[in-house]
Chain A
Amino acid sequence: MSSVDKEPTMPELSDPAELLREANPVDSFAIDPARREQMHTAIVNGSPSMRGPHDARGWQLKAGAIAAALVLILFGVLALRWSGTPAHLKTISIHSVQSSQFGTTPGGPDHGGGPGNGGVSTITFVPGPLLSGATSSAAIYSFDAPADPSTPLANVASALGIVSPQVVTGGNNGCGIGLSGATAKLFSDCNPTLEWIYNVDLPSCQGVTTNAAGQVVSCVTAWGFNDSGATQAQLEEWSSPAAAAVTPVGLTLGDPVYASGLNHVTYPCEFNGTAIVGCEAIFQYSNAGKLLYASGPLAPSSPTEFGTYPLTSPRDAVAEVDGDLFVHGGTGSSSPVTVTLTSSTTVYEVATLTDGTEVLLPAYSYAGGNGGTYTAIAVSPSLVSEPTEPEASS
């Protein structure tokens, strides 16, 4: 094996950030010089798609590419007409989908087995008998972040009881702004959609710190996030008015989910009654009901219908379910894990298109027979393309 993998070890540290650093499973990956040379040769002398922008035959390639594009467009139009798909619909050229970086819903269960018992390379998803085979259509909506987030942010600050909020210049990320009150701060974030984050002023040390001798030790001062005794009824009583007050125009909040022992409650966002993956309002309290942390969405400005697109059926979209190359635990078996997807609900994924447009993209959220949750884009695959190019840095 050409990589240098580490045995799992448990360092004598209590700082989870250092534990995470120490858990890095691969120190290095060696590629021998002959393979690197082969790679270079294959790329510069390979197929036309591998040729660089300065190739001496660039004009020939450009001409060829234009001709190929025209043929593809013609073929695509004919294929769409032949298949009955509306020919006027633009292909959804996705740059990134908010929830696509990891295969499963955060906090989802393992795919069987326990720690140190992994080793399964693939997950095969199969449709359960109750998944519908019916196709449908749904609207895609595009939206913009508010041009000036200060007004909706001020509304949130007021709803959360921030006293005498003062605008902090330009925020600290170029597109957001901050409001600093007497005991708490509220600031907006920009990625991938505009959201607000509320924090009370905390001690500078958050949980653990490094002392002069370089040892990781617990903070001497009491720390804000360590309460866990609130009941569900209390969390509901405290969070309901706050949730109602911060719900942005155009969105609604769904039923709350309570995290046992964490004094933490989450409300999913909905648009037109459909849940938006990754969009939620979160509230975390002390045992006495003091709001310690919260975050939620700012209102998207004027969602507009991008078009009504054909959706593949929940049964067929199983082929699009993500999550096969990432392994989360395992059974110790050498054969792939099969997960049966038993039911589906239609949701929206927040996606950024290659032209920068943010859209709400119809998707299916599946319940797996193993207790996991998985998503797949529901728009007909013939109308979706995904690039491999990186986004330009600002």
Chain B
Amino acid sequence: LDAEQEVTVTSAGKDRLRALIDGFAPDVGAFLRRRSYPLQAADIEELVQAVFVVAWRRIDEVPSGQELPWLIGVARNVLNNARRSHSRRRALLSRVRPVRDEPSAEDLVTASEELKRTFRSLGRSDREILLLHFWEGLEAPELAVALGIRQGAASTRLSRATSRLRANYLLAGQHAVKTESERT
């Protein structure tokens, strides 16, 4: 590329980054907030920015039409890294304080005790794909992008996880009823 072309590409890249931020930053923020409840908004915005730093580095790799699942895939790793990294963790934790007594995301899931038991009885990959589907609204093609797996695998895993959720939910309910009847 000559200098003129480079400037043009850079400008296009900046425009695309702006479009990505304007179009998807709120969705990425919502994803991060669901998973890191109850982080304060400023901390969420910092993590959102970290996601778009990766997007900027790889601006040509962000798939058109699949931007959100790709960004959620990045956000999952940014969050995992923040959780596991010493320096990032300390930097975050130094500011992370509860703003009020709030139930966590999983506590809200657990408005039903049976659902709470059931959700936690599932494997990690099952829980992850269920949350990506039912909370982020990702369908199999988007799940494939977010998780870096094939669409068929995403479809199979979602179907299997949903079946297990339903199966274990029924068993949890039946067990609770049985235990209660044995007590009385």
0/1 interface trace, chain B 69-93, chain A, CB 8 Å (1 if under): 0100110111111111110010011
Against B, the Cβ 8 Å flags (1 = close, 0 = not) of A258-288 are 0011100000000000000010000000000
A388 at the B interface (CB under 8 A): yes
Partner of A36, one of B3, B25, B59, B148: B25
| Binary A-proximity of B135-172 (CB < 8 A = 1, otherwise 0) | 10000000011001110110111001011011111110
Least distance between A380 CB and chain B CB atoms (Å): 13
Known A-B contacts A43-B56, A332-B101; the reply to A102 vs B171 at CB < 8 A is no
Mark interface residues in A31-65 (1 if CB within 8 Å of B CB, else 0).
10101100110111010011111111010000000
Task: Scan residues 376-390 of chain A and give those whose CB is less than 8 A from a CB of chain B.
Answer: 381, 386-390
Q: Tell whether A322 is near chain B: CB-to-CB under 8 Å.
A: yes
Number of cross-chain contacts by CB at 8 Å: 320
Q: Is the CB of B148 within 8 A of A226?
A: no
Q: Which residues on B sit within 8 Å (CB–CB) of A121?
A: 38-39, 96-98
Q: Which of A21, A197, A223, A319 contacts B86 (CB 8 A)?
A: A319
A contact patch SS: loop
- The smallest beta-carbon distance between B141 and chain A, in angstroms, is 10
Q: 1/0 per residue A181-223: CB within 8 Å of B?
A: 0000000011110000100000000111000000000000001
B-side interface size class: 35 or more
A23, B49: Cβ atoms under 8 Å? no
Bound form: Cα–Cα A279–B80 in Å: 21
List the B side residues contacting A84 at CB < 8 Å.
none
The residue on B at minimum CB distance from A45 is: B14
**Scoring B residues 59 to 74 as 1 if CB is less than 8 Å from chain A, else 0, what string do you get?**
1110100000010011
Chain B contacts with A in 94-130, Cβ cutoff 8 A: 96-116, 118-125, 127-128, 130
Question: In the complex, which residue of chain A has the Cβ closest to the Cβ of B8?
Answer: A54
Q: With contacts A121-B38, A332-B101 known, is A207 near B167, CB below 8 A? A: yes
Interface residues of A in 167-181 (CB under 8 A from B): 172-175
Question: Across the interface, do B37 and A120 meet the contact criterion of CB distance under 8 Å?
Answer: no
Segment among A11-19, A151-159, A296-304, A361-369 that sits at the interface with chain B = A11-19
10 tightest Cβ-Cβ pairs between the two chains A and B: A391-B148, A29-B29, A119-B101, A173-B153, A327-B104, A390-B73, A16-B169, A261-B175, A29-B30, A21-B134
